[in-house]
Structure 1
Amino acid sequence: MNLEMQRFKAEFFKALAHPLRIRILELLAEGDKNVNEIQTLVGSEGSAVSQQLTILRAKNIVSGTKEGNKVIYTLKDPMIIELLAVARQIFNNHLVDTITILDKFKEDDDLITSPKN
């Protein structure tokens, strides 16, 4: 893989590296929304939402279309939905692994602390 592709990927993932941006993308995966709708759904200040949307727009992850006095935001590429689903699955896999490890520690701890008959 060439260096330009690696740089693109790094910049792309940096653009996703904020919890509010991820939440915004999850909301847009459900359908197009304006800033006020996004703000209400995330329970955040409009300036914070606008700031994150600006970053996502700059990286061509979302686009905005003016409709009257509102800007409607949409995902530029529907594959973002798949990417978020894969990220969720990776998280779930890590969670399952962590739970398995914790269960093993508990079993080992129970063996150590159990009174012997």
Structure 2
Amino acid sequence: MITFMDANISSEPVAISTLSVFFDAIGQPTRLKILLTIGKGEACVCHLESRLGIRQAVISQHLMVLRDIQLVEAERSGRNIFYHLTHPEIIEPIIRLGEILGIPAEELLSLSQKPYPGCPCPQCNPSENPLLSCARKPSEPNHTHSS
């Protein structure tokens, strides 16, 4: 498994290789959306499905890439898996780069806003029956990060 922290792809300097692996991973639109969606805290797959309008299988493939380079970590809670950024501070430079390119920060940050209408996850719909959603057990910690 190659990580963006220890990449050495070719004869390029390690710093260049490391950045190249990072930008290659986030350069795919779905992966960038996933990072922005979980930028302010964890999310379960059902939230990512609802928020991004993408099937679970596709989300899982992209999450695997982000996990392989250690940008995203997964935490199992019963039958559910919650994802969060390993380094939430990476969101700030992504937002800043968007601003330099003329994209309002609010547009990028809107992906991380909760609740999201129609999402069955407990963070968006606390009144949903926990057996029908991907609820975290109340006794378990919530590993949210703020940027």
User: Hey, what's the Cα distance between the residues in 2 that align with 1:87 and 1:36?
Assistant: 29
Q: Displacement, 1:86?
A: 1.6
List per-residue Cα deviations over 1:89-117 (Å, max 9, x = no partner). 12218xxxxxxxxxxxxxxxxxxxxxxxx
Query: Larger % of helix: which?
Result: 1
- Corresponding residue of 1:61: 71
User: Hey, what's the Cα distance between the residues in 2 that align with 1:83 and 1:36?
Assistant: 27
Structure 2 length normalisation: TM-score? 0.59
User: Hey, what's the Cα distance between the residues in 2 that align with 1:30 and 1:38?
Assistant: 13
SS in 1 for 2:101: helix
Q: Displacement, 1:84?
A: 1.8
Is 1:83 equivalent to 2:64 in the alignment? no
State the AA in 1 paired with 2:88: P
List per-residue Cα deviations over 1:3-60 (Å, max 9, x = no partner). 0111010001101011111111111013200111101110011111111000000011
- RCO comparison, higher one (Cα < 8 Å, 6+): 2
- Corresponding residue of 1:7: 17
How many aligned residue pairs are there? Answer: 92
User: Hey, what's the Cα distance between the residues in 2 that align with 1:60 and 1:83?
Assistant: 18
Q: How does 1:104-115 map to 2 (within 5 A)?
A: none
SS in 2 for 1:13: helix
Q: How does 1:15-94 map to 2 (within 5 A)?
A: 15-92=25-102
SS in 2 for 1:92: coil
State the AA in 2 paired with 1:10: S
Q: Which runs of 4+ in 1 moved over 3 A?
A: none
User: Hey, what's the Cα distance between the residues in 2 that align with 1:87 and 1:70?
Assistant: 33
Q: Determine which structure has more spread, i.e. the larger CA radius of gyration.
A: 1
Note if contact 2:72-2:84 (Cα within 8 Å) is conserved in structure 1.
yes
Structure 1 length normalisation: TM-score? 0.74
Superposition CA RMSD, Å: 1.4
Note if contact 2:70-2:86 (Cα within 8 Å) is conserved in structure 1.
yes
